[in-house]
Amino acid sequence: MEPANILVIEDDYLVARTIERSLSGDEFHVLLASRGDKGLHLARQQPPDLVILDIIMPDMDGYAVCREMRRDVQLVNVPILFLTAKVKVQDKIAGFLAGGDDYLCKPFNVNELIMRVQAILRRTRRLNPLAEEDYAETGGEEPFYGATAESTVFSAEGASRSAVFNGASARARHVSQLEVGGFVLDTHTYELQTPERGKVRLTPLQFDLLYHLMTHPDETFSPSRLLDEIWDYPSGRGSPDLVRVHIKTLRERIENDPQSPTFICTVPGRGYMISTHADRV
């Protein structure tokens, strides 16, 4: 396997070199950029496998870089790991709303950084063959931006759980849309049609999370299970706060009332589920 290309956008030289040394070896190839605009330029020249992105930078901060990447057809699916001194929950939410996949605070543990990088790359490499298949089926048109295909709608409600409630199985069946409780997820465009808020374009990580939950409706997922099955973190690693913030961010985008959600529901003391019953909260 070829080494993964990691682009580090960090204005602190010592931090950047620490990251570079930590990711040295045959597994990674690291490229450094000291400014946001320079990092974008390098990414557009050769899209990386992962971007490690600081937030507090002169001229163009990390949030702006992330938003630009999510608007760029070449970079929209490149995973982004924020590595920053901004530690408040509001900062994390802002990062995920901008399109980030993960968030690690400074000062950071080198082993934790390596673990997260490896987990993100495992997840994206596992999904890449599916993305390439969609790309080929649409004649080279980028699927994230609305590739057309014959629509196959799968309604999860009332179906046999053992038959189709596995995400890989649903993709293997070329299901282009999933419908649960009036919410319709398009697996070709990464868009969610909501009953109250119209159509919402999801980030890659938001799509992965929602797809997983929608293919298992009314099944409860603990934060640790989601860290394992979505983020691909080893058992016992990763913070449940990462899941909580992503759920909160997703609710703010798709729920009619994020403070009283009826679709992505909290099961007290257990975790989260996609509910097919409107009376659940």
Among 193, 267, 62, residue whose Cα is nearest residue 275: 267
Instruction: Give me the pLDDT at residue 258, please.
Output: 92
pLDDT of 57 above 80: yes
Residues 35 and 126 sit within 8 Å (Cβ to Cβ): no
Instruction: Give me the pLDDT at residue 61, please.
Output: 96
Binned at pLDDT 50, 70 and 90, residue 147 comes out as very low
Among 118-127, 152-161, 212-221, 269-278, name the one with the lowest average pLDDT.
Answer: 152-161
Among 26-30, 185-189, 219-223, name the one with the lowest average pLDDT.
Answer: 185-189
Instruction: Give me the pLDDT at residue 237, please.
Output: 72
Looking at residue 3, the DSSP 8-state letter turns out to be P
- What are the backbone angles phi and psi of residue 192, rounded to the nearest 5°? -115, 125
Instruction: Give me the pLDDT at residue 195, please.
Output: 92
Binned at pLDDT 50, 70 and 90, residue 163 comes out as very low
Instruction: Give me the pLDDT at residue 280, please.
Output: 46
Residues 55 and 92 sit within 8 Å (Cβ to Cβ): no
pLDDT of 183 above 70: yes
Dihedral of CA 63/79/225/265: which sign? positive
Instruction: Give me the pLDDT at residue 156, please.
Output: 53
Binned at pLDDT 50, 70 and 90, residue 68 comes out as very high
Binned at pLDDT 50, 70 and 90, residue 167 comes out as very low
Binned at pLDDT 50, 70 and 90, residue 97 comes out as confident
Helices vs. strands in the chain: H and E counts, helices first: 10, 12
Q: Who contacts 217 (Cβ-Cβ below 8 Å, separation ≥6)? A: 156, 157, 165, 180, 181, 273, 274, 275, 276
**Alpha-carbon gap, residue 190 to 177, rounded angstroms:** 10
Looking at residue 269, the DSSP 8-state letter turns out to be T
Among 37-41, 220-224, 239-243, name the one with the lowest average pLDDT.
Answer: 239-243
SS3 157: coil
**Alpha-carbon gap, residue 32 to 17, rounded angstroms:** 8
Please state the rounded mean pLDDT for residues 46-63.
Answer: 95
For the beta carbon of residue 118, count every other beta carbon within 10 angstroms. 17
Among 17, 75, 125, residue whose Cα is nearest residue 31: 17
Planar angle of CA 165, 166, 168, nearest 5 degrees: 140
Question: Percent of the chain beyond pLDDT 90?
Answer: 55
**Alpha-carbon gap, residue 10 to 174, rounded angstroms:** 40
Rg over CA atoms, the chain: 19
Please state the rounded mean pLDDT for residues 21-41.
Answer: 94
Alpha helices in 165-277 (DSSP H): 167-172, 204-214, 223-229, 240-254
